[in-house]
Amino acid sequence: MKVFLSGSIRGGRQMLPTYQFICRFLRNKGHEVLSWHVADSEVEGKESLLTETQIYERDMSFLQDSECMIAEVSMPSIGVGYEVCSAIKKGIPVMCVHMPDSNVSAMLLGNTYADISVRLWG
């Protein structure tokens, strides 16, 4: 399955080990992680070579090609929220995961859209 992994980049990289774990887990199960750059420890430096438009177009292309999204939402991020909303609009199933004691947005926890789920993990 083609998976879009969403996680905070500019909003903070504290969850990087978690993104790397999720990416490895999905790949080991035979899935293709289109947005693997989220789990790349060098992503900020690499993205500094791209324009804002190039980053947007790359990510929206990955999202368009994906069959589902997994969003790590423990770290508040406008970009992750934008990607989740874009996936919902495109009819792509979304699973949001978060660590215990995370302050997850009510916009996710209260969402009644059938193709979104929010799960505690960790």
CATH 3.30.930.10 fits 2-120, yes or no: no
| Token pair 């874009």 in the structure block, residue | 86
Give the count of beta carbons closer than 10 Å to the beta carbon of residue 28: 8
What are 32-50's pLDDT values in tens digits?
Answer: 999 999 999 999 889 889 9
Strand, coil or helix: 10: coil
Q: Which amino acid is at 62?
A: F
Q: Which amino acid is at 105?
A: S
- Runs of H (alpha helix) within the chain: 16-28, 43-47, 52-65, 78-90, 106-109
Q: Which residues contact 40 (CB under 8 A, 6 or more apart)?
A: 46
Determine the pLDDT at residue 122. 73
Determine the pLDDT at residue 47. 84
pTM confidence score: 0.93
Annotated binding site: 4-10, 19, 37, 83, 105-107
Determine the pLDDT at residue 24. 98
Give the domain ranges of the chain.
2-120
Annotated binding site for substrate: 4-10, 19, 37, 83, 105-107
What are 51-82's pLDDT values in tens digits?
Answer: 999 999 999 999 999 999 999 999 989 999 99
Q: Which residues contact 120 (CB under 8 A, 6 or more apart)?
A: 97, 98, 99, 100
